Amino acid sequence: MRAVIVAIGVAFLVSLFCTPIAIKVFTRLKAGQPIRSDGPAMHQGKKGTPTMGGVVFILATVIAYVAGHLALTTLPDLQIAQVEPTITALVLLGLMVFSGAVGFLDDFLKVRKRNSAGLNKRGKLLGQILVGAVFGVVALYFPSTMTDATGAKTNTETVGSTTLSFIRDIDALEVSKIGAVIIFIFVVMAATNGVNLTDGLDGLATGASVMVLAAYALIAFWQYRHWCADPSYTQSYCYSVRDPLEIALIAGAAAGACVGFLWWNTSPARIFMGDTGALGLGGLIAGMAMSTRTILLLPIIGGLFVIITMSVVIQIISFRTTGKRVFRMSPLQHHFELAGWSEVNIVVRFWIIAGIGVAIALGLFYSEFLANMT
């Protein structure tokens, strides 16, 4: 637990104190956010606000991960050695960094062209597919090993699984490794675009991501405390996952980094995360669902992202089939802006919706454990 707390604290402080530096640097480089001409009129005042702020909390997460591992070296009573970096960390941090890189390219093109077009849809889609495919293959085809205190190799599971999962793997829903990689690519695309569509108001996506990542930190730490690979755990009901302490550490670090960033990103935002941050967070959240074996629980944990994504899908289908729009504007947050809600009201109420989804998901996760322990 100490290592997770260290990672959270380091990520928060790095993000909190480095974001103002990023604001000055991006302002000097004239890396301001272009605003869509067809967007809400009240957004025109945000034109020129520095973007690409996701660079800060992605970097903070990586630094915090290293700090957390330094803290692990001071834990002589650790039952299962996780001091050295693992394949799990490679997959999770790789998803965050390289998904963020796709977003960074999009942000860079927007800033360079001085318009909101950026990377075309096909290019962004191919980037998401490539990132999902590469780390999906690593997660499914490269089992990781660990060494316990006696020097024996233990727990050679892969990061991902060839079965679909809800609270844990569902044995009846097994697919091939290739099928599992394809499913994961879809999850990466869904999560990255979901967070990206939610990132339309000051602090909205950041705050929602904090809740989702905190939920995954709790889930992963609970799995660590009831881990099948832990020789000191004698209960018959346990979790077969890879490196749950690593997952908890990275999820906690990312959540802490987002809280530090939120200090500057909340209304009125002094910096935006941009596609750099949105796609980076989406990639990490997808990796969390895969590594904790909770893929089908993700739509509940990230309920707000699902609702906002579906508002776009409904709007497109309705307009193309009937010529009419269901919402004044999509994504959904802009519909309420045009309905007269203040930005702060929308953000806080959407945060409440995000919190409800997280609470329901954690309740389902814990109740399943209790049901099988009694």
CA atoms within a 13 Å half-sphere pointing along the CA-CB vector of 312: 15
CB 240 within 8 A of CB 169: yes
pLDDT tens for residues 239-271?
A: 999 999 999 999 999 999 999 999 999 999 999
DSSP secondary structure code for residue 165 in this structure: E
Ligand-binding site membership of 148 (annotated): no
Ligand-binding site membership of 196 (annotated): yes
Nearest to 85 by CA among 94, 75, 77, 96: 94
pLDDT tens for residues 300-332?
A: 999 999 999 999 999 999 999 999 999 999 999
pLDDT tens for residues 73-103?
A: 665 555 454 567 789 999 999 999 999 999 9
How far apart are alpha carbons 47 and 168 in whole angstroms?
A: 45
CB 46 within 8 A of CB 269: yes
Q: How many CB atoms lie within 10 A of CB 233?
A: 17
What are the structure tokens assigned to 81, written together?
């050695």
Nearest to 65 by CA among 86, 34, 38: 86
Q: How many CB atoms lie within 10 A of CB 299?
A: 17
| pLDDT bracket for residue 202 (50, 70, 90) | very high
Q: How many CB atoms lie within 10 A of CB 370?
A: 8
Average pLDDT in the 48-62 region? 94
Instruction: State residue 113's pLDDT score.
Output: 75
Terminal CA-CA length for the chain = 26
Sequence-ordered list of residues with C-beta below 8 angstroms from that of 213, at least 6 positions apart, any chain: 251, 252, 254, 255, 258, 281, 284, 285, 288
pTM here is 0.93
CB-count burial class (<10 Å; 0-12, 13-18, 19+) for 42: exposed
